[in-house]
Amino acid sequence: MKDLLKAVLRSTWRWTAPVRRPFARKIHAHLTRCVEAAHRPQPIVVVPDEAIVLMDQVVRELVRLQRQVDTLQQTVDALADEQDHPMISRELDRRKEHLKAG
């Protein structure tokens, strides 16, 4: 029984060889390319001078914008402090100072 099963499996395996060969070839070629790509040395990337100059300009612009944001934040904080006193009371305070001076 065991010999009969082996014989059937062997003949079936041989019979499917024409179908298996193209797939085996494609899988082998794919794996070969993957291994070659993994062992191939990677090229060293040289950054051109233009890129360095461009990055310097970007950094300068970033610093300028950060300073501008800081200035605007200080202005907003100053205006928020003034908002604690309503406009009418500020105007009355100015008139009192004017009357005191005059």
pLDDT of residue 91 exceeding 70, the answer is: no
pLDDT, tens only, 75-86: 888 887 776 655
CB 16 within 8 A of CB 8: no
Question: Is residue 44 domain-resident?
Answer: no
Based on the fold, state whether residues 34 and 74 are members of the same structural domain: no
Structural domain of residue 83, as residue ranges? 49-101
Distance CA 102, CA 93 (A): 14
Based on the fold, state whether residues 31 and 63 are members of the same structural domain: no
Based on the fold, state whether residues 58 and 28 are members of the same structural domain: no
For the chain, give the mean pLDDT. Answer: 83
Based on the fold, state whether residues 27 and 7 are members of the same structural domain: yes
Based on the fold, state whether residues 90 and 60 are members of the same structural domain: yes
Based on the fold, state whether residues 66 and 91 are members of the same structural domain: yes
Distance CA 5, CA 7 (A): 5
pLDDT of residue 66: 96
Domain count, the chain: 2
Question: Is residue 68 domain-resident?
Answer: yes
Based on the fold, state whether residues 29 and 55 are members of the same structural domain: no
CB 90 within 8 A of CB 98: no
pLDDT, tens only, 40-72: 887 777 778 888 899 999 999 999 999 999 999
Based on the fold, state whether residues 55 and 97 are members of the same structural domain: yes
CA 46 to chain centre: 21
Separation in Å, CA 74 to CA 69, 77, 81, 85: 9, 5, 11, 18
